[in-house]
Structures are given as C-alpha cells and as structure tokens.
Structure 1
C-alpha cells in the first residue's frame, strides 16, 4: 500500500507548494465544492476551547468511518472532492454510518496546514458540523489559494463571520483541538494523509478511490 508521508511531499515539493492542478484526477482545480446534502444534524456549542470531533451521518451508527486529513495535502484534496461526496450520498444522508473528520496536519505546509484547520474549527464553533463539512469541502476545492482572505470569503459563503474566521486562522485559536486530534491520530498509527479507518481497520488502497472505502464499509456492515 502506498503511504502518503511527509517525505513524499518533500520530494514533490514544487507540486505541493504551487498548488499544481491535478489534485482532482488530473483536472483543473475547482473553486466550487460538491453538493453534500444534509449530512450532519448535531449541534456544537460555541467555544474558544477544545472542540469535539466533527461527526456526520448517524452518531449512533454501528459502523464508524474515521478520516485523517491535512488541508494542504493534494491527496486529501482528491479524497475530499471525489470520494467523500460519494460516501456522503450513499452512507451519510441515509444515516448508515458515523463519519468522523480528524485533523492531521503533517504539516504539508507549515502555515496553511495549521491555519486552514483552525479556520474550519472556527466555523464548527460558530455554526456546527453541517457548516463545518461544507466549509471543509470548500477549503479543499480552493486548495491552491488557501490563505487568510480565502478563509474569510469561504466562511461568508456558509453564513459565518468571515473576519472572525480569518482571525481564528491567523491566531491559530483552535490549535489545542487540532494538536490533540493530530496526537490521537499518531497514537493510532497514522503517519500520512489521507488515512481512513472503518471501525478499527485501516482502508488499504494503491490509489485514492471510492471503491476501497465502500467495500470496507460494506464488509463492516455485514459483520
């Protein structure tokens, strides 16, 4: 299985730093994220402290999908824009699985990996997990232009105060949450992104695609 480690990104540093097109199956990077539908209905209390894991689908489902991503990782961009919308349609909208998003800044980019995660957490704190997942997809869709102005404008698009999200990103207000998530991933054996677990089993793939995730979910549901 190919592992997407930081060393791999250093070797491909030019492509990562430049936000080269091709993060989404070789096509031009889109600024419009896929439509997700209503995937998360729980609420998150507003707080400047540690935040809970963003959860979509049915929080009490028998099968849990846990995904570890870095917002600056081009492979995560492929996963989020091509695989996640299919998972959302087939399993989250019907409420068949519990889906958890976990921050895992490798970091691919020392600034973006942390600031983007903080921006997303600011949206979660202000508007809950549904807005979080929509905003997260927008970050990946705009991966080549991530920065304070983008964090703000995308927050406005999901109905959250863009200036406040920009400030949270640059101040790294939610580093406590992001760092704890990253450490929990390391404790679980995560070393690269994206990493996907279905229950306690890591999804193995030679390329980022929907089918390995779907097959792992179906196998877990049959147990």
Structure 2
C-alpha cells in the first residue's frame, strides 16, 4: 500500500510537471488542470503509476545486469564462499539463502534433486542471514564447519531441521553430523566469517534483492523459490551460452 501511495504521489507530480512544461501557468492553475484531467479520466493516474513502475523495474534490471557483469568473479569464485557439487563444473549456480527461510528449505530439495541428475553443476553458497539472531548463528556455525570439512553435511542437516534454527537446535544438529562443538564455537569468531556475511549483504544490496532465496545462474538473476524444472532450464541456457 505504501509503495502504491508513493507511486501515485509521484505520478501526480509527473502530471503536474508535464503540464507546467507545456504552458507557463501558475501553480494553482496547474493543480486545477491536473485535477480536471483526473476527474475526466481517473485511469490516467494508474496509467502513470504503471509507467513509473515499469521504468523502475527496467532501471533495476539494468543495474542488476551491470552488477552481474562487474562482480561475476566475486560471485562465482570468492575463495571465502562454500562450494558444493562439481568444483570443476561447467555451470556455476550461486544461491543466497537463510536457514530460517521456509522457501529456502523447499528450494534446497530442488537444488539437491538437480545436482543428483546433473554432475556438472558447481554450486556456490552465500550465507545471507536476514531473519533474526538464529539465522545469524546458523550462518556463522555453517561457515565455521568448513574448518572441519563438514560444511555440506551440516548445510543439508540444517535445511532438514524442523522448526526454527536457534542456538540450541543448531548445536544439536552440529553434534549429530559429527562436528567438534568446542572447535565450532572457536571458529565462529573468525574474520573470514564476518567477511563472508558482509560480502553477501553488499552483493544483495547491489543486486536489489529483498528476500531469500535468490539464485544467480549465468546471466539470470532469479529471486524466490525455483522448481527443479526451471533450474534445469536456466542451467541449460547458461551452458549453451558458455
């Protein structure tokens, strides 16, 4: 509602500006003409809103495309980002996610199924904890698990966790997958973890992302849950482009 209200206000300002450019009129007369135009054709406001929204979407898409181009190496080859699947795969899929996001949990099953059928996919995970303190703790613990060679096992176990990921449940899962919890606590404070999360935040802001999950596959930026069939299509497009 706030977005629509803001768009209407902007559209009104646009109409006012258009009339002002056409004639040298007083502010009062301009407003009068605008109101007359709206009364005679109420749909003109929504038409203006749609034009503005389309322009904003195009600007965002262009901005995201530029980021994908300039930040490609960081997105796909950051040595501080976990990689699963085939490390030498011909297509790289980057996923931004949060362990407390139900859509991420559903998407995890789609990604796992895709990887089971396509052994030439390289998956880069970007921890993006935006859903509370439990999410931050989970991200830090998962990244710390790299030092024990158990990131992937811990990742899937956390995705399978029922209920919210909070400190107690996360540590329980850590024990279940065979992690040394004392070492995990120690490794969670490493500067590499701070850097990974900060980089994820910077990338998502630059890409204009507003929620999890989100995927980067080739030139495609896809926010939200994606089914396996669509992932396959995007991977195929990226593979053809390569």
Smaller-chain TM-score bracket: 0.5 to 0.7
Instruction: Using structure 2 for the length normalisation, give the TM-score.
Output: 0.60
Q: How far apart, in 2, do the equivalents of 1:204 and 1:215 lie?
A: 15
Which residue in 1 is equivalent to 2:179?
Answer: 160
CA separation of 1:57/1:140 partners in 2, compared to 1, >3 Å: closer, same or farther? closer
SS in structure 1 opposite 2:92?
A: strand
**Match among 112, 134, 138 for residue 85 of structure 1:** 112
Residue 151 (str. 1) matches residue 170 (str. 2) = yes
Q: Distance in 1 between matches of 2:123 and 2:222?
A: 14
Checking the alignment, whether the CA contact within 8 Å between 2:145 and 2:179 is kept in structure 1 is yes
**How far has the Cα of 1:177 moved from its partner?**
2.1
Over alpha carbons, which structure has the higher Rg?
2
Q: TM-score, normalised by structure 1?
A: 0.64
Structure 2 CA distance for partners of 1:60 and 1:51, relative to 1, 3 Å: closer
Of 79, 99, 117, which residue of structure 1 is paired with 2:123? Answer: 99
After TM superposition, the runs of 4+ consecutive aligned structure 1 residues lying more than 3 A away are 166-169
SS at match of 1:203: strand
Q: 2:220 aligns with which of 197, 201, 204?
A: 201
Counting helix residues as a fraction of each chain, which structure ranks higher?
Answer: 2
Per the alignment, residue 117 of structure 1 pairs with 139
1:71–1:116: 8 Å Cα contact kept in structure 2? Answer: yes
Following the alignment from structure 1 to structure 2, what is the Cα–Cα distance between the partners of residues 166 and 142? Answer: 20
2:223 and 2:164 map into 1 onto residues whose CA distance is 30
- Unaligned regions of 5+ residues in structure 2, if any? 1-77
Find the partner of 1:185 among 201, 204, 211.
204
- Shift of the 117–172 alpha-carbon distance from structure 1 to 2, 3 Å rule, reads farther
Gaps of 5+ in 1: 1-49
- The alpha carbon displacement at 1:51 in A equals 6.6
Is the contact between residue 55 and residue 99 of structure 1 (CA under 8 Å) also seen in structure 2? yes
Count of matched residue pairs? 163
Contact 1:62 1:97 in 2 (8 A): yes
